[in-house]
Amino acid sequence: MQRNPQLNRNGELQHLLSIDGLPREVIERVLATADSFIGVTEREVKKVPLLRGKSVFNLFFEPSTRTRTTFEIAAKRLSADVINLNIAVSSQSKGESLLDTVANLSAMQADIFVVRHGSSGAPYLIARHVKPHEHVINAGDGRHAHPTQGLLDLYTLRHYKKDFTQLTVAIVGDVLHSRVARSLIHGLTTLGTPEVRVIGPQTLIPAGVEALGVHVYGDMREGLKDCDAVVMLRLQNERMRGALLPSAQEFFKHYGLTAEKLAVAKPDVIVMHPGPMNRGVEIDSSVADGPHSVILPQVTFGIAVRMAVMSMVAGVSA
């Protein structure tokens, strides 16, 4: 089997593809570096010259405004040049192959590719074919991973809860299709979180998920008992009615987060959501806007975390 393609021969992070397989020290280094960048985001001149002269190409094969925007802001705060490419999947399937697209951009002197793609594993394929000085950051591939989201979720948890080894964390919703859930689960288990739970109807819980180190709950009230943190996953429109679920209403009744359900968690529980939220489907407005919610701080932390990741990989040679 191959060496972990994210790390170079010295064990340094040259690409960020998945939290799965990242040594604990690397994760902690990202969080510590993000900490320093929070300081930068709080002052008037929010830029540092670290990536001046470098080009960051946002290669989004799946549309996304918010993730792309936060990567753009992060890159610009590092003084990098940012080029956005939104490649609709249909035009890609008619025309250029994925590797041809990357090769063309490489010829335009790219330094960092931020890639979001609908197929799991696409960033790995890209990482196998880029030049030694080019770096790939996975902004979400299929159901597989969304490592920067996982890292900012870890940052958020550490900010409010400090010690992972004492926590009970519940992840609720469409785990089957969620790259956010998978990344967070890997991060939590690597940092020693003793109790990680997934909560959802069986149709939305993937086979063998226990092997990732989680406990499965079908009953939300059972699963939320004594939780320190609750992470709500977004339910996509097309999944709300069909073979997986009968309706958004029934989902909300049993798996939507309301103040009443949240009451069984610890009194200082925090509520997280990767966004964008479907109010009234996975989360009630009173909770989303309530005192336990840290959903907006997550966004700020996200910029610092992405600055940290970009500055760590860009300084590393293959």
Partner 1 sequence: MSLRIVNARLIDPASGRDAMGEVLIEKGRIAALDADARAARPERTLDAAGRVVAPGLVDVAARLREPGEEYKATLESEMDAAVAGGVTSLACPPDTDPPLDEPGLVDMLRRRARALARARLYPVGALTVKLQGETLTEMAELAESGCVAFSQANVPLQDTQMLWRALQYARSFGFAVWLRPAEPWLSRGGVAHDGEIATRLGLPGIPSFAETIAICAILEIMRATGTRVHLCRLSSEAGVAMVRAAKREGLPVSCDVGVHHLHLCDVDIGYFDSQCRLDPPLRSQRDREALSAGVADGTIDCVCSDHTPVDDDAKHQPFSEAAPGATGLELLLPLMLRWGALHKRPLAQTLARITCDPARILGVRSGRIEIGAPGDLVMFDPEAPVRLTRDGLKSQGKNTPFLGYELPGRVDATVVAGKVVYERE
Partner 2 sequence: MSALPDAEKLCVQLAESIRPQITSNTVMIGLYTGGVWLAQRLHQLLEIAEPLGTLDIAFYRDDYHQQGLARDPKRSSIPFSIEGRDLLLVDDVLYTGRTVRAAMNELFDYGRPARIALAVLADRGGRQLPICAQYCGVRLEVPAGARLRLRRAEDGRLSLQLEHAT
Interface residues with partner 2 (CB under 8 A)?
A: 12, 29, 32-33, 35-40, 43-45, 47-50, 311-312, 315-316
Nearest to 16 by CA among 152, 109, 118: 152
The partner in contact with residue 117, picked from partner 1, partner 2, none with C-beta cut-offs of 5 to 8 angstroms by kind, is partner 1
The CB-of-312 to partner 2 minimum distance in angstroms stands at: 5
253 residue type, one letter: K
User: What is 176-216 written as a DSSP string?
Assistant: TT-HHHHHHHHHHHHTT-SEEEEES-GGGS-TTGGGGT-EE
Q: Which is nearer to partner 2, 36 or 65 (CB)?
A: 36
Secondary structure class of 92 (helix, strand, coil)? helix
Residues 6+ apart with CB under 8 A from 86: 60, 63
Q: Give 36 or 249: the residue with its C-beta nearer to partner 2.
A: 36
Burial bucket for residue 142 (CB in 10 Å: 0-12, 13-18, 19+): middle
221 has which bridge partners?
none
Q: Which does 35 bind (CB under 5 to 8 A by kind): partner 2, partner 1, none?
A: partner 2
Interaction partner, residue 107 (partner 2, partner 1, none; CB < 5-8 Å by kind): none
Q: How far is the CB of 92 from partner 1 (least distance, A)?
A: 10
Q: Which is nearer to partner 2, 53 or 218 (CB)?
A: 53
146 and 117 Cβ atoms separated by less than 8 Å: no
Min separation Cβ 32 and partner 2, Å: 7
The nearer residue to partner 2, 50 or 103, going by C-beta atoms, is: 50
| Interface with partner 1 (CB under 8 A) | 1-2, 4-5, 20, 97-99, 117, 119-122, 124-125, 141-145, 179, 182, 206-209, 211-212
